[in-house]
Amino acid sequence: MTSITRRHALRAFAAGTAGATVVSGASLSTPPGALAATGGARQRAFAAAAAEFGVPEPVLLAVSYLKSRWDSHGGAPSTGAGFGPLHLTDLRAVAAGGSHHDHGAEDPRGDSARRVLAPHTSPALQTVDLAASLTGVDAETLRTDPVQNIRGGAAVLAHYQRELGVRADGPDGWYGAVARYSGAPDTGTATFFADEVYATIISGASRTTDDGQVVTLPATPVSPRREQVLTLGLTTIAEGAPEAPPGLPVEWIPAPYQDLGNGDHGNYDQADRPNSQRITHIVIHDTECTYDEAIGLVQDPTYVSWHYTLRSTDGHVAQHVLTKDVGWHAGNWYLNAKSIGIEHEGFAAQGTWFTEAMYRTSATLVRYLAETYQIPLDREHIVGHDNVPGPTPSNVAGMHWDPAPYWDWAHYFDLLGAPLNRRPLRQPTGMVMIKPDFASNTTGYTGCDTSAPAAACPARGSSALFLRTEPRDDAPLLPDPGLHPDGGPSTTGISDVGSRVSTGQRYAVAETRGEWTAIWFLGRQGWLRSSGVVPVLGQVVTPRPGLDSVPVYGRAYPEPEAYPADIPPQEIVPLQYTLPAGQKYAAGPALPGEYFWAATFDPAQHVVVRGTTQYVQIQFGHRVAFVKLDDVLLSRTRP
């Protein structure tokens, strides 16, 4: 069989190792055996396990990279119930609690013209048991000890290779075992995973892990025997998804468009985007339930919908709603009508981590969608569900807050091929981008354990930072009148975004003092250490001269005069915040005042109402918001 194309290998390498640390004295062309002597404990563990179980060291290193990027995560599980550098799975050890609504009480549709929607497993692989039987090491140790976890993963890989009945000293002949290690039940997903593993072998990788271990995979020429995947007895899924990037298998599991009677229908709205409306945003979610549960929910006509679901263990993708149609996922009808919703298997509050396999398939999908619909790859257009504003004041407190601070936005944008802060600036510009180091930013949250809400969450890497009322670490967090109407400060609770900023978001600078920077946030100054931000260029908005403040909105609806006589005008309701004179906020896209009326089952009666009012999206707090273009002045920051 032909080898993986060099273009694919270079793309995988550029995406997967951006920002990696190169080992001093060990280049990516260093022979594998030479690294054990020069590397650290993690490197030696890979070398020893490879030798003990007869697994080619590049194969073991690359499989681990595609599962965990060699991180140990302190023994905590991934969203796919996997542990350690080799992602040994143990569902029994992970309580699959939670529901799709644990991360907020919003109505996913977010359309106040209609009634509020009421809320409404198959077992994964248990590879830790197989690893325990092969190594004689107990499951607890395999989950928590990185060295034994690597041994267990090597033993499982070697076992899969033996079952294939293939003798191969080099990496070329291990393709089938690698594909099986993905955990995917279907040929397409297993092949995608194995291709990514071998692309990593070809290009090499080097980085420092979350616990400070330097690991290097030298670039190794290889021609994998891809035909081996056909001997695994995996299913062939009916992919058939009409909107999938080349090379990424996407299963078509349609959500039902069904008339429920009494003027009600579910579970999405048929439309004609981008002919009817531009698609301007992609919303990143986590499921708050297992993949299988999510698939069941999206097929329920009385429930809600989103466009794609991704499985954690292997990154498998399923599509449910055509991107021309409007899913009910973001809790804000204006953004639902202009976005694509992507759910990732995971639990926002459990402190789990997202697998590299899922990050990679997600990035491949989002890059394709962004190219298709000309959506800029930045944090103004690729947003988390936690960045979506409440459409009205009464909705603010109930908005969802996934995928939460454990989603690695910087790494995700590296994989998208659009690194954050691609062109670093040295001098101040009046605007900063939030950019802490994810691995070392172990910001302390509480509330991950619902049985002990005040207990600290696991100390793991985070993409978010807290804002303080003064430039000192013990100062209170900022108040948020939408989340804390009593006027009290925000909290460190994992669900409390009232005083939190996230990687890639941009804010206008209000003041600097020594090692501290103040930014404008929810109508006041918020302080954070300057080490967590970088200067960037962009546009800012400020109230027009003569205005003491301007209202801030959660949706960009047209003026009442724009509505036809048979469609009730949607009220333009300001949120409980204002943008005072003298303050500046980072400007995102300019957006038209639009309302997609789709309250009937017959799509021929659906109407896009357009007005003359124009809006500007701004980074107002942790969430975005909208201001009327006529209320503000736009200006560009300069060095």
- Provide the phi-psi class of 152: left if phi over 0, else alpha when psi is between -120 and 50, else beta: alpha
Lowest mean pLDDT among 108-112, 163-167, 233-237, 535-539: 108-112
pLDDT at 526 over 70: yes
Residue 416 CA, distance from chain mean position: 11
**The CA-based dihedral angle spanning residues 319, 323, 324, 325, taken in that order and rounded to the nearest 10 degrees:** 60
**Amino acid sitting at position 430:** G
Q: What is the pLDDT of residues 186-200, one digit of tens each?
A: 999 999 999 999 999
**Amino acid sitting at position 236:** T
566 CB neighbour count, 10 Å cutoff: 8
Q: Could you tell me the pLDDT band of residue 107, with boundaries at 50, 70 and 90? A: confident
Burial class (CB in 10 A: 0-12, 13-18, 19+), 442: middle
Q: What is the pLDDT of residue 112?
A: 74
Tokens of 453: 């809400």
Mean pLDDT computed over 14-28? 34
Q: In whole angstroms, give the CA distance from residue 235 to residue 189.
A: 10
pLDDT at 105 over 70: no
Q: Could you tell me the pLDDT band of residue 95, with boundaries at 50, 70 and 90? A: low
Q: Could you tell me the pLDDT band of residue 104, with boundaries at 50, 70 and 90? A: low
How many degrees, rounded to 5, is the angle at CA 307 between CA 306 and CA 308? 105
How many degrees, rounded to 5, is the angle at CA 72 between CA 501 and CA 50? 145
In sequence order, what are the residues at sequence separation of 6 or more whose Cβ sits closer than 8 angstroms to the Cβ of residue 89? 80, 81, 82, 83, 124, 125, 126, 127, 128, 183, 313
Q: In whole angstroms, give the CA distance from residue 147 to residue 355.
A: 19
68, 146 contact by CB (below 8 A): no
429, 637 contact by CB (below 8 A): yes
Q: What is the pLDDT of residue 7?
A: 31
Q: What is the pLDDT of residue 111?
A: 74
Tokens of 225: 């025997």
Q: In whole angstroms, give the CA distance from residue 47 to residue 77.
A: 24
Mean pLDDT computed over 316-326? 97
542, 432 contact by CB (below 8 A): no
Does residue 302 or residue 99 have the better pLDDT? 302
Q: In whole angstroms, give the CA distance from residue 496 to residue 404.
A: 10
For residue 52, report the phi and psi dihedrals to the nearest 5 degrees. -60, -40
Burial 61-91 (b: 16+ CB within 10 A, else e): bbbbbbbbbbbbbbebbbbbbbbbbbbbbbb
Lowest mean pLDDT among 7-11, 255-259, 416-420, 434-438: 7-11
Mean pLDDT computed over 397-404? 93
- DSSP H or E run through 591: strand 585-597
pLDDT at 520 over 90: yes
> Model-level pTM?
0.90
Tokens of 311: 């499985």
pLDDT at 17 over 50: no
Share of the chain above pLDDT 90, in %: 78
- Whether residue 274 is preceded by a cis peptide bond, meaning omega within 30 degrees of 0, is yes
Q: What is the largest CA-CA distance in the chain?
A: 80
Give CA separation, 79 vs 99, 174, 204, 242, 566, in Å: 14, 27, 26, 28, 47
Tokens of 479: 């108040």
Q: In whole angstroms, give the CA distance from residue 285 to residue 103.
A: 10
Q: What is the pLDDT of residue 312?
A: 94
Mean pLDDT computed over 351-373? 95
Q: In whole angstroms, give the CA distance from residue 575 to residue 588.
A: 18
Tokens of 598: 């789709």
Q: Could you tell me the pLDDT band of residue 118, with boundaries at 50, 70 and 90? A: low
331, 277 contact by CB (below 8 A): no
pLDDT at 93 over 90: no
Q: In whole angstroms, give the CA distance from residue 624 to residue 504.
A: 13
Mean pLDDT computed over 517-531? 98
Tokens of 622: 């942790």
Q: What is the pLDDT of residue 121?
A: 37
pLDDT at 532 over 50: yes
pLDDT at 608 over 70: yes
382, 329 contact by CB (below 8 A): no
175, 225 contact by CB (below 8 A): yes
Per DSSP bridges, beta strands 317-319 and 281-286 are unpaired
Mean pLDDT computed over 331-341? 97
pLDDT at 630 over 50: yes
Q: What is the pLDDT of residues 24-70, one digit of tens each?
A: 233 444 444 545 545 689 999 999 999 999 999 999 999 999 999 99
Q: What is the pLDDT of residue 350?
A: 74
19-24: long-range pairs with CB below 8 Å, 24+? 19/207, 19/410, 19/414, 19/419, 20/205, 20/206, 20/207, 20/208, 21/206, 21/207, 21/208, 21/214, 22/206, 22/216, 23/206, 23/214, 23/216
Mean pLDDT computed over 578-592? 97
- DSSP H or E run through 359: helix 356-373
pLDDT at 129 over 90: yes
Q: What is the pLDDT of residue 324?
A: 97
Q: Which residue matches tokens 């996997």? A: 82
Which has the closest alpha carbon to 264: 111, 392, 399? 111
